[in-house]
Structure 1
């Protein structure tokens, strides 16, 4: 295992409370500020010069994925459910399953899989143990609860063939690995523990899979990013200049890792907390998948 304090570049000092959900979509890097309900983009063709706000909700916005063949339309994990989102209209809610839970809760991170389904997790505002769930939005718009008993469901990430999903339960310090039927979207057996973080190693947050199958994980609380081999071996640890990295995204055509960070919970935040950073790395990523529903 190697460890580096990489020369991280400050891409955006946005003073975001909880920047998250970084994805590479159609030549641009998109990300959210969860608690303010805002969606932003940085365009590669402008040299990532300045963020542009694409949408704002009056509820927390956990993550988005593009909707296939519908430019400017996003499927979003937001508020208490899943919605279709555009810049100039009210959200179209597909379902709000967290309205039906005992503890006041919100949606959190989410991602589309290679088959075109959208997966997103939830969490209780007060961190109630076991109150979080993982949901799958199928192509017909049906929202299905796939797993429950989680606490803070975070960072769904898929392998290129869509048969393996990694899922973090942040509060438990655990990264789960699930086998997925790429046709039905059903899980093949129960989740297995892929990695467990010990006290002091940080809490697993956003994740992504690189073009070699390695899993990158942002570790809240320690200012570190880890890369794991598919067999679970820890390959590399990168230190970034912010205590709470929240999501990781690899550029698909050059060797840069984009990292969102949070100011939330930082007593004396600097410009790198609540920001977007970039770090040179030896591998690349793939563009975000789209939700292929509602055609």
Structure 2
């Protein structure tokens, strides 16, 4: 599981990788940039978003849904146009949307965060058939993940600055049960960032400032660590025709000039063999 740099994009804050339509999609939040990469041809398409863009997910109607600082937007890859769908936080202009995942029912679970990374104003929302509601989980400074089990009955929710990951039951109607502690990242190991579940039900998290990604079994036991040549690893996505290639976004954000010189690959997209397949990405019902 040795990561190799496969896209030299030098992202300030690379994030949100997702495999959709046989392509790898990802964003650079701070550059307001959306990317689509075809590993088969090497093509890399780029679009400029209207503001900070945290993620992109495929929708059943054929377009994409994106999380932008100003709200949820539809994105049409054919025209390159972003259209506002809904702003879940019109009274919190200091917040931005940060990470998201789609469950088997087509609901998008999305989180917000304080862009200054100081105030506990970040919430987790559920977007279901165009209706966006607060999940009711306690607010934190930076929400991350979320990750969804194959059956859609469990959600993992990350409190990045609290270094804690919670496992939450998902009821049939999409409401959430009581969160249970899953994992706390120890001091010195970085901060838990984006996450995903693999085909064996194990949990993967990027480690911002932790030089890698970790894999935990369903009980929360650490079973694998993949080391990177860069400090800020934000999230992985399973891609390729068999979903057995792990693609990882990374970031240059927060690195000093000396650290950037020592990490010339920081901000690039990496790939490695995770030794396990991932789960297919579900289409959003909105």
TM-score tier by shorter-chain length is over 0.9
Residue 232 in 1 paired to residue 227 in 2? no
* TM-score w.r.t. length of structure 2: 0.93
Q: Map 1:1-295 onto structure 2 (within 5 A).
A: 6-46=1-41, 49-53=42-46, 55-70=47-62, 73-87=63-77, 88=79, 90-101=81-92, 104-139=94-129, 141-146=130-135, 147-181=137-171, 183-188=172-177, 190-251=178-239, 253=242, 255-267=244-256, 268-269=259-260, 270-293=263-286
**What's the CA shift for 1:50?**
3.7
The question of whether the paired residues in 1 share the 8 Å contact of 2:199 and 2:276 is answered with yes
Q: Is the 8 A contact 1:64 1:111 kept in 2?
A: no
Could you report, residue by residue, the CA deviation over 1:207-262 in whole angstroms, capped at 9, with x for unpaired residues?
Answer: 11111001011011111211000011111111111100001112361532111000
Q: Output the aligned Cα RMSD.
A: 1.6
In the alignment, structure 2 segments of 5+ residues that lack a partner are none
Q: CA deviation at 1:192?
A: 1.5
Runs of 4+ in 1 over 3 A off after TM superposition: none
Contact 1:23 1:287 in 2 (8 A): no
Q: Is 2:18–2:281's contact at 8 Å kept on the other side of the alignment?
A: yes
**TM-score for the superposition, normalised by structure 1:** 0.90
Unaligned runs of 5+ in 1: 1-5
Aligned 8 A contact 1:94 1:142 in 2: no
Could you list the per-position Cα deviations for residues 119-157 of structure 1 after superposition, in whole angstroms to 9, with x for gaps in the alignment?
111111111242110111111x11111134111001111
Output one character per residue of 1:6-25: Cα deviation in whole Å (capped at 9) or x when no partner.
Answer: 42211001011111001111
Count matched residues.
279
- Residues 2 and 227 in structure 2, CA contact (< 8 A), matched pair in contact too: no
- Say whether the 8 Å CA contact 1:12–1:50 is kept in structure 2: no
Query: Could you say what secondary structure the match of 2:158 adopts?
Result: strand
Contact 2:2 2:226 in 1 (8 A): no
Contact 1:132–1:153 (CA<8 Å) still a contact in 2? yes
